[in-house]
């Protein structure tokens, strides 16, 4: 049976792009001409982490972390050997540092001796976390970091057992993901170019704003929604991962797993408009979306720009880029896409993770039924 998946169900057209600079981009020449990119320094790697600097953050952590050699070695191994994301390395480092601080502030008054710790130590730590009233996900993340650390120590033969094994943790919360409706999504996707037009009409001819950032933002939002990308994936996207002719992306997701995702016509038009404008040719390994100074666009920058467009569209500025991914999955399922196909597009390892979106659509159907049926 052939499954037809709507690539982008609501985006039928893209606003006319800003006139391009000399030189053009055609479907037969997918690599645009752009200015060269400067390599980011250590500060950019630490505070503006991107996938293009993969492993730099992990090495920097190993060199600067106040943790003991066992923990520092684990973090270095996590980033370099197991190829964990920089975000995972950062979260695990924070978890180990927090446990170490807790242990220093307790009766022991010293850094933890990981080999000598018992299950009772970790039970006390979990009770301490409970008094802090942390969310279930936060507690589970901390325990996951400790479990992974001890599995590493067991493999290195530094310990003979895992004291964190078998500890009871709070059940995972099953919250329904928030998403934007189709009309709200339409308003958000139009917001960047509408803002630029408004600024352009209010400015003098000599002081008209450079449209680069607005064209880039329009392409970023379109691509996240059209392909269901994580913000880290869109920021880490390289030129050679984009096939304009086939309208597909080669994306490296969690665990460095590669997947090929189609994207729709409006996203293609937005990307071509951005590439036509920014000009000079760049290497296939260079980032698709650049920030100031030619460095890869950072997730924090995407979040900051999104807030202003959400406010402009009359939507909640607290929404994150991940809500566009939620909207992508929900709209596909509402339009009849197969659940397993959506799982592949999202890059979910487990179908159970994707099934949460079916609950969203069922809840919406119930709401429609309750509002419309005379005997609901």
Q: Which residues are catalytic?
A: 230, 254, 322, 325, 348, 357
194 alpha carbon, distance to own chain's centre:
25
The gap between the terminal CA atoms of the chain, to the nearest Å, is 36
Q: Computed over its alpha carbons, how large is the radius of gyration of the chain?
A: 24
Q: Name the strands in the sheet holding 248-252, side by side, starting at the edge strand that comes first in the sequence.
A: 242-243, 248-252, 258-262
Which of these, 328, 347, 234, lies nearest to 10 by C-alpha position?
A: 328
Whether 101 and 108 have beta carbons less than 8 Å apart is answered as no
Rounded to whole angstroms, what are the CA distances from 138 to 130, 214, 326? 11, 36, 21
Answer whether 276's CB lies under 8 Å from 25's CB. yes
Tracing tokens 């242990």 back to the chain, one arrives at 103
Distance of alpha carbon 146 from alpha carbon 129, whole angstroms: 14
209, two tokens: 């704003």
Separation of alpha carbons 238 and 287, rounded Å: 4
Q: Which residues pair with 262 in a beta bridge?
A: 248
C-beta of residue 114 within 8 angstroms of C-beta of residue 106: no
Q: Cα 116–118–119 angle (5° rounding)?
A: 160
| CA–centroid distance for 311 within its chain | 21
Query: In 150-269, at which residue ranges do the beta strands (DSSP E only) sit?
Result: 242-243, 248-252, 258-262
Helix (H, G, I), strand (E, B) or coil at 25: coil
Question: Cα(57)–Cα(279) distance, rounded to whole angstroms?
Answer: 31
d(CA 282, CA 139): 44
């Amino acid at each position: 049976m052939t499954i037809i998946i709507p690539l982008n169900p609501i985006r039928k057209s893209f606003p006319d792009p800003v006139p391009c600079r000399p030189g053009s981009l055609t479907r037969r020449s997918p690599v645009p001409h752009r200015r060269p990119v400067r390599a980011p320094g250590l500060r950019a790697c630490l505070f503006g982490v991107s996938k293009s600097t993969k492993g730099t953050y992990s090495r920097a952590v190993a060199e600067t972390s106040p943790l003991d050699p066992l923990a520092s070695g684990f973090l270095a191994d996590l980033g370099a050997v197991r190829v964990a994301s920089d975000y995972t390395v950062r979260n695990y480092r924070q978890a180990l540092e927090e446990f170490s601080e807790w242990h220093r502030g307790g009766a022991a008054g010293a850094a933890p001796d990981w080999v000598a710790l018992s299950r009772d130590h970790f039970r006390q730590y979990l009770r301490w976390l409970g008094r802090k009233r942390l969310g279930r996900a936060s507690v589970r993340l901390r325990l996951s970091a400790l479990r992974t650390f001890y599995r590493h120590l067991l493999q290195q033969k530094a310990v003979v057992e895992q004291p964190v094994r078998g500890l009871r943790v709070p059940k995972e919360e099953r919250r329904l993901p928030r998403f934007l409706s189709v009309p709200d999504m339409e308003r958000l996707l139009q917001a960047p170019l509408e803002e630029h037009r408004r600024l352009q009409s209010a400015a003098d001819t000599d002081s008209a704003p450079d449209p680069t950032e607005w064209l880039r933002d329009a392409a970023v939002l379109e691509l996240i929604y059209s392909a269901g990308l994580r913000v880290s994936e869109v920021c880490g996207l390289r030129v050679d991962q984009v096939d304009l002719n086939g309208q597909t992306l080669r994306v490296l997701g969690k665990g460095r797993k590669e997947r090929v995702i189609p994207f729709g016509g409006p996203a293609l038009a937005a990307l071509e408009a951005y590439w036509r404008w920014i000009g000079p040719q760049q290497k296939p390994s260079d980032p698709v979306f650049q920030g100031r100074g030619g460095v890869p666009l950072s997730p924090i920058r995407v979040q900051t720009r999104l807030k202003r467009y959400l406010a402009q569209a009359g939507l909640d500025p607290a929404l994150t880029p991940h809500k566009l991914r939620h909207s992508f999955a929900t709209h596909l399922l509402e339009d009849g896409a197969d659940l397993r196909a959506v799982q592949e597009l999202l890059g979910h390892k487990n179908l159970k993770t994707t099934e949460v979106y079916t609950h969203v659509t069922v809840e919406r159907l119930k709401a429609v039924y309750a509002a419309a049926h005379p005997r609901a």
